[in-house]
Copies of this chain bind each other. A is one copy, B any other.
């Protein structure tokens, strides 16, 4: 390898490092959004909700920046094989992160609506646990990305079932509350909606983890994972 080639390689590695650092930063912001969005809702904290909404702008901006940097790197360095796979994976992961951020923002947005409704006993705790599980899954996914850790990514994929089970439990709870007292219907419809958002965040994090398995192994995780729609509505369907 000539000195020039080494020099170019290093510049390329720096580009990749920079893009991956942006993903980690974006991921951290989205982790915060998940926790703060849920906390604002559970504590009926409209001020925190407003912060979550404002922070989502930074997440969106970072996605755009990552897309631009990724395109610039491809144009400038013409990467192939693994390097190209990394960049294309980064674009996909950034896209999924942006959507998770959106869901978190939507949860925060409901804070003021929920504040005016009858509290539904018990559901807040389960919602918080679900959100914490998704946040941990996201944290582990980002770690798996940085360390190219296939086993950790696969672990995240498996844990999505726990989130789905929590969702199922909540769904049945809401149904019961609504049947018991029609005055619970409106609040339960909101809470059901929020629970479904958290469950979908789990799906998106799982997609990211699958992308990391692909990144580290070059092939998609096996297709046996029962995807997405493994929720209460489906009892007796699958």
Contacts and interface: CB of A to CB of B under 8 A. Distances in A.
Given A175-B189, A193-B196, 12 more contacts: A70-B88, A71-B84, A71-B88, A74-B74, A102-B228, A106-B229, A110-B233, A110-B237, A113-B234, A178-B185, A189-B192, A189-B233
A233 B102 contact: no
A96 B152 CA distance: 27
Nearest to A174: B189
Contacts of A175: 185-186, 189
4 smallest beta-carbon distances between A and B, as pairs: A78-B78, A75-B80, A106-B229, A178-B185
Interface in A52-96: 64, 67, 70-71, 74-75, 78-81, 84-85, 88, 91-92, 95
A185 B190 CA distance: 14
A137 B233 CA distance: 28
Contacts of A228: 102, 106
B236 A113 contact: yes
Report how many copies the assembly holds. 2
A1 interface: no
A142 B182 CA distance: 45
Interface in A9-59: none
A118 interface: no
A165 interface: no
A179 interface: yes
B193 A64 contact: no
Interface string A193-229: 1001000000000000000000000001000000111
Given A75-B81, A88-B67, A102-B228, A185 B193 contact: no
A5 B109 CA distance: 55
Contacts of A70: 88
